Structure 1
Amino acid sequence: MTKNKDFVATYWPYLFVAIPVLLQLIFFFYPLFNGIFYSLTDWNGLSSSYEVIGLQNYIDVLKDGDFYTSIAFTFIFTVGLIVGEIVIGILMASLLNRKIKALGFFRTWYFFPAVLSTVTLGLIFSQLFNFGIPQIGEFLGIEWLSENLLVQENTVIPSVIFVALWQGLAMPIIIFLAGLQSIPSEIIEAADIDGANRSQKFFKIELPFLLPSISMVFILALKSGLTAFDLIFSLTSGGPNGKTESLGLLVYNYAFVDNKFSYANALAVILFVIIGVISIVQISFSRKFEV
């Protein structure tokens, strides 16, 4: 009986480790390597037969004009998301870190967009841009605001970034707020005694302590920007004239609209490599400046 208890005590913890590892293998690593394999074939996603064609899909992707158009939009969208989430996130976290009335209400209010479904958010804002905002523009006499901003090529990208930031800022604010509250109060008090102003305290104390948080927000925003799909799909469907067709939406269109499944997998693998390389470089760079 004692031996059985010792056996259970020894190996029981491994069961809890084995379950998430098994789920990770089934739902992440298997699809990953399966997708890499299919990217080396000519499979259309429907037929039972296919041929291995090597790197031909990757060569075709690099010659695809739609790929570079999609990269241009995805780059602008991702940069806007990263800069907006970091700058506005730090600003809002700094405001919420102060002692003000109804602080709990404001913290809850700013986190509320994060609980909304992205597809639902896209559909809501699509109606707002189509009906609500044009009426406001007509009432105020602003000509460019009197039309649907999502169908104009010069306003659609800023509009999409605005909607993404409206929802995406919730988590960065929480992360930056936690980073600010982790700063030892003795350091802030010492800076006050030395006569440091608000700008000096931010750049010399708060910003170095926030670098790990900035690194985390950078990677999350980078991933959200480069893999953006559901918001773009529900908000603009890639229009007008493919102006907002993100890489994620391009992968979807090639796979499920054009039935170029292996070609879409090659594009997805390229996207995976881009995210991985940028993340590694950014983490290595940020670690040099962490406190």
Structure 2
Amino acid sequence: MTEKSLTHFFFTAPAVLLYTLLLVIPVFQGVYYSMTDWSGLSKNIKFIGLANYAKIFSDKRVLHAFGFTFKYSLLLLVCVLSLATVLALILHYVLKGRSKTFFRSIFFFPAVLSLIVVGMTWNEILFRVVPAIGQALGIEWLSVNILGSPATAMYGILLIHIWQGTAIPFVLILAGLQNIPTDLYEAAIIDGASPFQTFRKITVPFLLPTFNVAFVMVLKAGLMVFDYIRATTSGGPARATESVGILIYDLSYDSLKMSYALAISMVVLLVIIVITFVQMKASSKVEVGQL
């Protein structure tokens, strides 16, 4: 082994070791314990095979949690990626100079805040401030706490998540726009391309790698949403906002059904892997000029 190879090995070994200890091994342990009847506390563990996985598909509470989570994730993806793209385009093409730096800082500010702090702060705003404003203005629909109704609670949590979750995708897309060669736009204008054609043929293909990263980040955040719900509704009212994350927490620590919760976690992990793989494969086939 050469000196250069040894140097590379010693630089990467700590990261690989930590990754293995903190992620790879726990995942394999989770797979094993999901096939047992482990409560999380008991030392007596019985191997039961795929019984926990079979139970998932007949458990109405689990299916409801998955339905809520998928719907929530889809809405989050559409809203966050659309809003982040629009804000990035405005900041990149419309604003100039110091105003661009100022608004970039403002838009990114929510990303530095704790998720649970954001959830608790918005909970107070939606519970006290917004209804008070609605009553003062005489607007009936604004006078009600949106988190207090099973029909609207999800949209209240979604609003909180969008407010904070748009920040990082916005910065990523803005960075992607800044990396697009300006020569391509100049050539397109000379050839008589319309703004829409330029956006479709140049901007979108060049941003696809950035969109891939943002897509995975937002998807993961949607499927594993926990903090915002825990800080606002705790899965209520009437389990209307019980996500998979909230359900796993409840089964693990409140109901002491750790093995069942682990089985659900493995299914969520598999779903994320499959969706990400399909999305990556589909987008990798699209190159600049093919859209």
TM-score of the aligned structures, taking structure 1 as reference length: 0.95
Q: For residue 100 of structure 1, what is the amino acid of its counterpart? A: K
- For each residue in 1:52-107, what CA deviation from the matched residue of structure 2 results, as whole angstroms up to 9, or x when unmatched? 01111111111110111111110111011111121111100001102425110100
- The one of 37, 40, 64 aligned to 2:32: 37
Distance, in Å, in 2 between the alignment partners of 1:217 and 1:100 is: 25
Which residue in 2 is equivalent to 1:115?
112
> Residues 49-128 of structure 1 correspond to what in structure 2 (within 5 A)?
49-98=44-93, 99-101=95-97, 102-128=99-125
Distance 1:71 1:226 in 2: 9
Change (3 A) 1:93 1:11: same
Q: Using the aligned pairs only, state the percent identity.
A: 40
Q: Distance in 2 between matches of 1:50 and 1:224?
A: 33
Q: What's the offset of the Cα at 1:9?
A: 5.7
Q: Give the Å deviation of 1:232.
A: 1.4
Contact 1:85 1:217 in 2 (8 A): no
1:242 aligns with 2:239: yes
Q: Tell me which of 252, 257, 282 is aligned to 2:254.
A: 257
Give the aligned partner of residue 12 of structure 2: 17
Kindly indicate whether residue 137 of structure 2 is the aligned counterpart of residue 140 of structure 1.
yes
What residue number does 2:189 align with?
A: 192
Of 21, 30, 47, which aligns to 2:42? Answer: 47
1:231 deviation in Å? 1.6
Counterpart pick for 1:167 among 116, 140, 164: 164
Partner residue of 1:3?
none
Match of 1:281 in 2: 278
RMSD: 1.4
AA at the equivalent of 1:79: L
List alignment gaps of at least 5 residues for structure 1.
1-5
SS in 1 for 2:38: coil
Pick the aligned partner of 1:207 from 199, 204, 209: 204
- Equivalent-residue separation in structure 1 for 2:19 and 2:179 (angstroms): 32
Contact 2:56 2:63 in 1 (8 A): no
Identify if the C-alpha distance between structure 1 residues 218 and 10 changes in structure 2 by more than 3 Å, giving closer, same or farther: closer
In structure 1, the residue matched to 2:226 is: 229
In the comparison of the two structures, how many residue pairs are matched? 286
Deviation per CA, 1:179-207: give whole Å up to 9, x if none.
11111111111122233332222112111
Give secondary structure in 1 for the equivalent of 2:79: helix
TM-score of the pair, normalised by structure 2: 0.95
2-structure distance, mates of 1:258, 1:30: 25
> Matched residues in 1 for 2:124 and 2:276: separation?
35
Q: Which amino acid aligns with 1:196?
A: A
- Asked if the contact 1:135–1:146 (Cα under 8 Å) also holds between the matched residues in 2, the reply is yes
Give the letter for the 2:53 counterpart.
Answer: Y
Amino acid at match of 2:155: P
Counterpart residue type for residue 38 of structure 1? Y
User: Which residue does the alignment assign to 2:23?
Assistant: 28
Return the alpha-carbon distance in structure 2 between the equivalents of residues 131 and 280 of structure 1: 43
Question: Counterpart of 1:68 in 2: which secondary structure?
Answer: helix
Preserved contact between residue 150 and residue 156 of structure 1 (Cα < 8 Å): yes
Equivalent residue for 2:151, pick from 148, 151, 154: 154
Q: Tell me the distance in 1 between the aligned counterparts of 2:206 and 2:132.
A: 45
Which SS does the other structure have where 2:225 is aligned? coil
